[in-house]
Amino acid sequence: MSRKEPNTLIALSSSTWDEEELRVAKRVLDSGNLSMGKEVAEFEETFAATVGSRFAVMFNSGSSANLGLFFALKYGKDINLKQSSEVIVPAVSWSTSFYPISQAGFKLRFVDVNHKTLNIDPDKVLENINDKTGAILAVNLLGNPSELSILRDIAESKNILLLEDNCESLGATLGGKQTGTFGIAGTYSFYFSHHICTMEGGMVVTDSQELQQVMRSIRAHGWTRGLPADNLVHPLSLNPWEDLFRFVLPGFNLRPLEISGAVGKTQLSKLDNIVQMRRLNAQRFVELFSDSKYFSIQEENGESSWFGFSLILKDRISQSRTKLIDLLTNSGIETRPIVAGNFLRNPVMKHLDFIAEGTFINADLIHDRGFFIGNHHFDFRDKLEEFHQLIENFAMKESK
């Protein structure tokens, strides 16, 4: 399952699977029950209990989780967003943090991030709240919790919703509370490079009975099948034949597979050890780079689950990123931009309904000078030491 090549010093990601996941996958394949069913339902229940949420709804990806959530907020009765609502988002995040907001008919309002934590700046959030603001989307970047307690207080004081895109930060905590659970809902991803992997898969957690039921309908064609008789979406006729094919919401097919649910349960049992090892690697990374004259690293807020390790080139070598990336690539070290950098600089913005007022100094800094390397669920501190020596030597020469 591993994507790590023999000549790779530090791979971007690595498989968290072993023989146990393969046995579980074979068991499901042999059963012939492949479409969403019992295994998915059990994973949802276990996941909700693990993060401390009342409900969890699984989707076929983290991107789909965001899509299902925002359409549920569009069609919910008690918990919803008006179509004229603006959603405040950080300028640094992944594409499918933003697309579902626009696709559901809401307006994106971008704000700058904190250059130390890389997460949304609460001061910028406050500056951008107006009478059209309906929600704040906090993205916990690279495993690092946003200032969620502050954002929650802001949301409550302004009577707006707090949402979390926690796709990169499973296992992170703030004040002992799991990220993804501070607002009305939080989303997660189980893609290959993330903390746990179900091949493809995502989840939304919420304490709202209505919201989870609307998501279940939207996830599967917008029908009433599978909803309880006393559901909050649409009354059932109690004629099973009719209720199987009654369509009440403009939904999608975002359902996960049974094999993903089954593997998810196995992966979840390993999460504590996975996060513990990622934090052990991170401790060494921070020790190596905290006093660097050439690079700044992400400042931890709460307890990060350290999706990856970001670095931003300081002034003295600010023009050297291309040369550095070439060196790392040739040395067998895989790198990527810090998520998508300043997303406003992408051509796709011409297709989105958005507002971006003021400056985006920190997002541009991340875009122009930043990169990150992978973290893993196994001990590779010796490789981090080699990485540190390599790029510090490079920077020393470049700064002369």
Residue with tokens 């004081």: 157
CB 265 within 8 A of CB 365: no
Of the residues 194, 221, 376, 377, which is catalytic? 194
Residues 6 or more apart from 178 whose CB is under 8 A from it? 51, 52, 53, 171, 172
Q: Which residues of 150-184 are buried (b: 16+ CB within 10 A; e: fewer)?
A: ebbebbeeeebbbbbbbbbbbbbbbeebbbbbbbb
CB 260 within 8 A of CB 24: no
Q: Of 170, 174, 155, which is closest to residue 65 (Cα–Cα)? A: 170
Q: Could you tell me the two tokens for 148? A: 């969620």
- Rg value, the chain, Cα: 22
195 is catalytic: no
Q: Could you tell me the two tokens for 381? A: 């501190």
Q: Say whether 75 sits in a helix, a strand or coil.
A: helix
Q: Of 109, 170, 98, 167, which is closest to residue 134 (Cα–Cα)? A: 109
| β strands within 325-368, DSSP E | 354-355
Interhelix angle for 209-219 vs 62-75, to 10°?
120
Residue with tokens 């981090």: 384
Q: How far is 40 from 257, CA to CA, in rounded Å?
A: 7
CB 189 within 8 A of CB 202: yes
**Which residues are known to be catalytic?**
194
